[in-house]
Amino acid sequence: MARKRKVYAPFSLTSEAGVAQTPVEGYIDVDQQIYPTVNTGTVNENGTWAGVKSDDEDFIGFTKFEAVASSGTFLGPDTNNHPKIDMTGFTDLQIAIKSSRSDTIHIDAVFGPDTESFANLTPIAAAAPIRIITTSRTPDETFDDALDDASELLVADAWVVFTILGRVKGQKNLQIKMTNNAGDPTNFEFAYRRLV
Reply yes or no on whether the pLDDT at 22 is more than 80.
no
Q: What's the one-letter identity of residue 34?
A: I
Q: With respect to CATH, is domain 53-195 assigned 2.60.120.380? A: yes
Instruction: Report pTM.
Output: 0.76
Reference 110, options 65, 137, 146; nearest CA is: 146
Q: Where in the chain is the domain with CATH 2.60.120.380?
A: 53-195
Residue-averaged pLDDT of the chain: 87
DSSP 54: -
pLDDT of residue 134: 78
Condensed to tens digits (0 to 9), the pLDDT of residues 91-135 reads 999 999 999 999 999 999 999 999 999 999 999 999 999 999 877
Condensed to tens digits (0 to 9), the pLDDT of residues 28-70 reads 677 777 788 888 888 888 888 888 889 999 999 999 999 999 9
Give the length of the chain.
Answer: 196
CA-CA distance, 152 to 186, in Å (whole number)? 15
- Kindly report whether the peptide bond that precedes residue 123 is cis, defined as omega within 30 degrees of 0: yes
Residue 122 CB burial class (10 angstroms; 0-12, 13-18, ≥19) = exposed
Condensed to tens digits (0 to 9), the pLDDT of residues 66-78 reads 999 999 999 999 9
Reference 180, options 95, 66, 22, 85; nearest CA is: 66
